[in-house]
Chain A
Amino acid sequence: MLKLQFVPYADIEHLDTSDRIDKLLGIVKGNKIVLMQGRLHPEEEGQLIQETMQQIEDSFRGIEICTIYPEEKNLQLLKRVKKEMVKYIIGNRDGITIIGPATIVREIKRDPNNMMLLTMHTTTPRTRNASKKTPSRLKKRR
């Protein structure tokens, strides 16, 4: 079962970089997929990768991360300035960031405006039993 945790931007805006990273990695290491409003600054993403590498061990193999955000090409100068000012005042809340543990999320494929989350193949005990039983049932019928 996949567990998703939504992190609104308001939850991280008051935190400094290392606390933001600790919070996000804490959720991911609890085997949950983070759905975060907005995106990290590129330098914070770099630090997130560094911190992830430091914490890699047998039970934690790293993360899959993907950010998707609206590309506003051809935006008028005035609107662009207005948008930048809003970003400066309330933070960059545009877009969404997905971070998942590599043991659960195999890959996040991204095209400009689409995101595809591929998870590891997991079978529940019930499914495993069913698949074991199938061949024997078939034998009996024959």
Chain B
Amino acid sequence: MIKFLRDFVQRMVDKLFSQKRHIKMGLYGPPNSGKTTLANRICKDWLGEKMGSVSNIPHETREVMIKEKIHIKHKNKELTFSLVDTPGIATKIDYEDFMKFKMSEKEAKSRAKEATKGVIDSIKWLDDMDCVVVVLDSTQNPYSQVNVTIIGNLAARDIPVLIAGNKVDLKKSNLKKIESAFPQYDVVGISAMNGKNMEEFYESLFRVIK
């Protein structure tokens, strides 16, 4: 009985203060969409330092990375959050794909093993998020099942979502396709690599988190 009451009070306190105390903002998306590049851009903008390494090889981020207490200010609004950069979610991982990037078979198999664990962790972490930025490569077809599954899972958990259509600096970029694929969500076009449209990104972030 005492344990029940203690848990109940703890849950109520957590519910009341959770938003102010500890907002966790996750970066989700398929591999190579630019999640870590965006994480680095946000960290550089507000902390002056990078978060993780980036590469053209898929599944470069294979572990969930967290940067605590990022404080951002935009037009008299302020927000403090922990940024959670997650490994890209995929439905298949083939070690032979890594060997195309001049990796040995042993290295490729090890990377594939780590990548599978990374995908599992990413999905597990969904339950801990208070807000998620889904990072999509705007040069790719947005109707992939991975994107639909990520966004469907966030909707099922009632987690606020902002879609960042990344790589808008590239010729093939098609932001309108993302907007028509997910009409019920805020979509902002950015280039995390060169910082294009980041002001609009932060503005959208405040709108989504409230």
Interface of A toward B, CB cutoff 8 Å: 41-43, 45-47, 49-50, 52-54, 56, 58, 61-67, 102, 108-112
Contact = CB atoms under 8 A, between A and B. Distances in A.
Contacts of B120: 50, 53-54
A32 B90 CA distance: 20
B145 interface: yes
Contacts of A50: 119-120, 123-124
Nearest to A102: B92
Interface of B: 89-95, 112, 116-117, 119-120, 123-124, 126, 141, 143-146, 148-149, 152-153, 155-156, 181
B143 A43 contact: no
Contacts of B117: 53
B126 A46 contact: yes
B145 A43 contact: no
B25 to A, nearest CB: 19
A58 B116 CA distance: 13
Contacts of A109: 141, 143
> Which residue, B91, B93, B146, B152, has most C-beta atoms of chain A within 10 A?
B91
Nearest to B115: A53
A41 B91 contact: no
Contact of B93 (A53, A67, A111): A53
Nearest to A73: B183
Nearest to A97: B145
A49 B141 contact: no
Contacts of A46: 123, 126, 149, 153
B93 A49 contact: no
A67 B116 contact: no
Contacts of B119: 49-50, 53
Given A54-B120, A67-B145, A108-B145, A42 B153 contact: yes
Given A53-B119, A56-B112, A42 B93 contact: no
Given A41-B156, A109-B141, A110-B143, A49 B89 contact: yes
Nearest to B118: A53
A62 B58 CA distance: 15
Contacts of B141: 109-111
Nearest to B116: A53
B94 A62 contact: yes
A62 B91 contact: yes
B153 A43 contact: yes
